[in-house]
Amino acid sequence: DGGITQSPKYLFRKEGQNVTLSCEQNLNHDAMYWYRQDPGQGLRLIYYSQIVNDFQKGDIAEGYSVSREKKESFPLTVTSAQKNPTAFYLCASIPGGTVSNQPQHFGDGTRLSIL
């Protein structure tokens, strides 16, 4: 079955530590996205990538970094510069690199907490 796999499901970060959240999709989608969701709030865009080897900052990119070396993979690193990383992180993808009327497909999310 095709889908988006995020791992781990739960992650704990120590002070000063960088952590990487994995997102893999086997849907052959061109565009991939990372969102952050805080309790009682909507999703906020961190980074997105329309094609391999290219990505753009979203609305809250500070303290985060990404790479897109392969079409199926879009890992997110939460750096020590992100002072409030506790949140639910969602990865999404969509077919086609240009504007599409297809909905974004989401992974099951990673819940990150500070130790």
Partner 1 sequence: GQNIDQPTEMTATEGAIVQINCTYQTSGFNGLFWYQQHAGEAPTFLSYNVLDGLEEKGRFSSFLSRSKGYSYLLLKELQMKDSASYLCAVRLSGYNKLIFGAGTRLAVHP
Residues of this chain that interact with partner 1 (CB under 8 A) are: 31, 35, 40-45, 48, 50, 58, 88, 90, 94, 96, 98-101, 103-109, 111
Query: Using CA atoms, how far apart are residues 39 and 91, in angstroms rounded to an integer?
Result: 17
Number of residues that this document lists for the chain: 115
Query: Using CA atoms, how far apart are residues 81 and 62, in angstroms rounded to an integer?
Result: 8
Q: Give whichever of 47 and 82 is closer to partner 1, judged by the CB atom.
A: 47
- Shortest distance (Å) from residue 41 CB to partner 1: 5
Q: Give whichever of 99 and 115 is closer to partner 1, judged by the CB atom.
A: 99
